[in-house]
């Protein structure tokens, strides 16, 4: 999630719901920027509209399940995010994305009851994205909703994330989910079967996003078997394949000067998994990742442990990459398929499947922001 994406979401919230403060949205790298917005040096920060402060994740914080599947109303921003590498019955590759964001406008303690919908509350706004990529065509839709009105929200037990009729729901054991979303000329209805424990990124769940310590809580489910149906322009396609699910939340966001985010989640044919990202800023990049072996515990990767290099561009967007992790003899080339995979919502960003070649074979997904702005 880039500085620009969060800033634009905040501006969108203000325009739609009549409440906007421009703090933290300046493009001037010399001002307070996101440090002013989130209090980068402080554990908590105050809010003039409430006695309850925003909470900020920090090293030493730990994940807790099942509560962390649900919302974190005392944090500024969070999201639930699924990407999927699927195939049709004919063996044709099909990519799929679903994301739901929550933007707090006022912090609320996790134990505090939600305000009554009859009070027309405005403590949070929600945004959802859905996309399908098939045969070089990219289908995308965006939805927005006001929080605490019943039209959008999330719960941990039972697990449920929804915006209007778009919905991700879990069973009693939270190991089998159902996902439904639909756009103008596409829809999907999927069953997600989850294997394995959540993978905690960074320092047991605290994922640094800069050398100076800004960060978020971040975990993934990386072994998800998916079956179901995707409908495109009235044609129903049976699909199956692999999914990757991310959960992330913070109040700190990113620091001033960070201009873009390049993120990769890879399923290797060896059974190993790899997540890597880099953040671009005025002085260079900050990168991090997690090596997830088929056998053994996940290994956090620091900035010195991996390298990411763009090799080729398509209309300004880097669509071919080299990703290296020397300690594990990993030297990969990641390539987007032909086509335009720009999510053209209220702000644009690139979201596409990738094929993996080189020292390992496989598939995955990449998200690129900033290059398309």
DSSP letter (8 states) at residue 220: E
Structure token pair of residue 118:
């009859």
Q: With contact defined as beta carbons under 8 Å apart, do 303 and 278 qualify?
A: no
- Between the alpha carbon of residue 89 and those of residues 201, 227, 228, the distances in Å are 34, 11, 11
Q: What is the pLDDT of residue 122?
A: 87
CA distance 65 to 107: 22
Q: With contact defined as beta carbons under 8 Å apart, do 362 and 330 qualify?
A: no
Q: What is the pLDDT of residue 253?
A: 62
CA distance 124 to 303: 34
Q: What is the pLDDT of residue 174?
A: 95
The helix/strand count (H/E) of the chain reads as 2, 25
Structure token pair of residue 186:
């596409």
Q: What is the pLDDT of residue 252?
A: 78
Q: With contact defined as beta carbons under 8 Å apart, do 135 and 91 qualify?
A: no
Q: What is the pLDDT of residue 22?
A: 28
Single out the residue of 169, 166, 168 nearest to residue 186, CA to CA: 166
Q: What is the pLDDT of residue 256?
A: 67
| DSSP reduced 3-state for 120 | coil
Q: What is the pLDDT of residue 271?
A: 97
CA distance 68 to 54: 17
Q: What is the dihedral of CA 169, 143, 255, 205, to 10 degrees?
A: 10
Structure token pair of residue 195:
């294997």
Percent helix, strand and coil across the chain, each rounded to 5?
Answer: 10, 55, 40
Single out the residue of 215, 199, 281, 202 nearest to residue 251, CA to CA: 215
User: Mind listing the domains of the chain with CATH numbers?
Assistant: 3-369 (2.40.370.10)
Planar angle of CA 278, 283, 285, nearest 5 degrees: 10
Q: With contact defined as beta carbons under 8 Å apart, do 54 and 40 qualify?
A: no
Single out the residue of 98, 103, 117 nearest to residue 8, CA to CA: 103
pLDDT along the chain (373 residues), means of 10: 44 42 32 27 42 92 97 96 98 98 94 86 94 97 94 96 98 97 97 97 95 92 98 98 98 73 97 96 88 97 96 94 98 97 92 98 95 52
Cα-Cα end-to-end distance for the chain: 13
């Amino acid at each position: 999630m880039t500085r620009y994406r969060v800033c634009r979401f905040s501006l969108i919230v203000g325009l739609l719901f009549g409440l906007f403060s421009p703090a933290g949205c300046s493009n001037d790298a010399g001002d307070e920027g996101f440090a002013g917005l989130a209090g980068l040096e402080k554990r908590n920060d105050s809010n003039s509209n409430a006695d309850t402060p925003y909470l900020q994740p920090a090293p030493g914080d730990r994940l807790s399940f099942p509560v962390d599947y649900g919302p974190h109303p005392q944090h500024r921003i969070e999201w639930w995010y699924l990407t999927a590498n699927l195939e049709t019955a004919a063996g044709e590759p099909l990519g799929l994305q679903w994301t739901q964001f929550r933007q707090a406008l006022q912090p609320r303690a996790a134990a505090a009851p939600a305000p009554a919908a009859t009070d027309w509350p405005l403590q949070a706004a929600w945004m959802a994205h859905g996309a399908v990529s098939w045969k070089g065509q990219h289908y995308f839709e965006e939805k927005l909703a006001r929080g605490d009105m019943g039209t959008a929200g999330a719960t941990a037990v039972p697990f449920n994330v929804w915006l209007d009729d778009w919905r991700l729901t879990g069973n009693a054991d939270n190991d089998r989910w159902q996902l439904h979303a639909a756009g103008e000329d596409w829809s999907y209805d999927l069953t997600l079967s989850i294997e394995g424990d959540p993978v905690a990124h960074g320092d047991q769940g605290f994922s640094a996003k800069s050398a100076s310590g800004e960060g978020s809580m971040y975990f993934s489910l990386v072994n998800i078997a998916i079956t179901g149906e995707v409908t495109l322009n009235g044609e129903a396609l049976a699909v199956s394949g692999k999914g990757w699910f991310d959960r992330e939340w913070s109040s700190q966001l990113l620091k001033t000067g960070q201009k873009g985010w390049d993120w990769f989640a890879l399923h290797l044919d060896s059974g190993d998994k790899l997540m890597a990202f880099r953040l671009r800023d005025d002085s260079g990049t900050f990168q991090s990742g997690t090596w997830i072996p088929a056998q053994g515990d996940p290994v956090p990767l620091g900035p010195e442990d991996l390298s990411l290099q763009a090799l080729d561009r398509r209309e300004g967007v880097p669509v071919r990459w080299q990703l290296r992790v020397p300690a594990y003899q990993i030297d990969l080339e990641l390539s987007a398929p032909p086509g335009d995979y720009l999510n053209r919502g209220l702000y644009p960003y690139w979201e596409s499947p990738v094929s993996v070649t080189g020292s390992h074979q496989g598939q995955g997904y990449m998200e690129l922001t900033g290059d398309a702005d």
